Structure 1
C-alpha cells in the first residue's frame, strides 16, 4: 500500500472541512471524501457505522441504511462519534479508529486513481487508492451519496 500525507493550513473559521481541504490542496472536491458516523440501530439501540462520501455531495441516509442492512439511518451524536472513533469532528478518519465500525464507501471513489480522506485531525489528509481504503477498512462499496 502506498499513501501520501497531505497536510494543509486549517482555518478554524471554515464551515466545510472537506471543501477547505480540496481548495487548500488544489484537488477537485469529487476526490476528497468525508467520513461520517451514522446510527443505523433504530429505536433505542445505537449501532454506529461509518459512511465515506465525496465532499462534493451529501450522504443519502436511506441509501446508507440499505448499505448496512438497516431500515433507517441518522447522523450519530457528535459526542458518540468522537468517543467511538477517537477523533474530533472535522478530523474523523476512516483509518485507525479507536473502535472500528462497519464501513461503507461511496462507489464514486472507484472512479479515481486516488482519493483523499482525513488523516485524523483537521488540516491533515491522506491520499491513497480507493482499493487500499476498502481493504484497510474492510468496507463495502455502495451508492451512498444523494443525486
Structure 2
C-alpha cells in the first residue's frame, strides 16, 4: 500500500476524462517538493511504489507529427522506437511550451488523459507486466493508479517497446 496517498485527490481534466469514460482509477496525492525536478522518481519514492510501475508521460515531436510516449520512470524514452511506433523515423522531445500548450498541463504533471489536444499515445509494453500502473493525474504531486488496459482504452493507445534502460 502506498504510504502518502489520499483516498481522494484533486479534480483535474484527467480525472474528469476517466470518470466520463467509466474507467476506474485510484487517486494518490502526495506533497510535491518544489525543489525536485525528477517528478517520476519523486512519485515512486513518495508513494512507496517500484519505479518500474510508475510511468512518465512525454510529448514527442516526430516527423509524423506530435505524439505521447508513456514509459517507466526507471528507464528512458527511446526516441527512435517511439518515432517508429508513431509512424515516423525521427523524434525529439517536444519543447516545454508546446507540450504545456497542447496538453493543458505543466511539465511534471502532464497526464495521458484529458489533454487539450488528444494525441496518438504509445505505452511501453513493460506496463502489461503489471495489474496496475501509476501515471500523472494532471498536476505535480498527484498520480492515478489504473490497469494498463484501461489506460490504453482511455487514450485509444497502442503498446510497443519504447523504453531503454537509464
TM range (shorter): over 0.9
Of residues 50, 56, 66 in structure 2, which corresponds to 1:34? 56
Report the alpha carbon displacement of residue 41 of structure 1 after superposing the two structures with TM.
2.5
Cα distance per residue 1:58-114 (max 9 Å; x no partner): 000010111011011000010000000000000000000011001000000000000
Cα distance per residue 1:38-68 (max 9 Å; x no partner): 00127xxxx2100000000000001011101
Alignment partner of 1:58: what SS? strand
C-alpha RMSD of matched pairs (Å): 0.9
Aligned counterpart, 1:20: 42
Cα distance per residue 1:24-44 (max 9 Å; x no partner): 0000000000000000127xx
Uncovered stretches (5+) of structure 1, i.e. residues with no partner: none
Uncovered stretches (5+) of structure 2, i.e. residues with no partner: 1-22
Matched, 1:71 2:93: no
d(CA) in 2 for partners of 1:117, 1:4: 11
Aligned counterpart, 1:52: 70
Alignment partner of 2:77: what SS? coil
Aligned counterpart, 1:9: 31
Extract structure 1 runs of 4+ deviating beyond 6 A: none
TM-score, normalised to structure 1, is: 0.95
Matched, 1:119 2:137: yes
Say how many residue pairs are matched: 143
TM-score, normalised to structure 2, is: 0.84
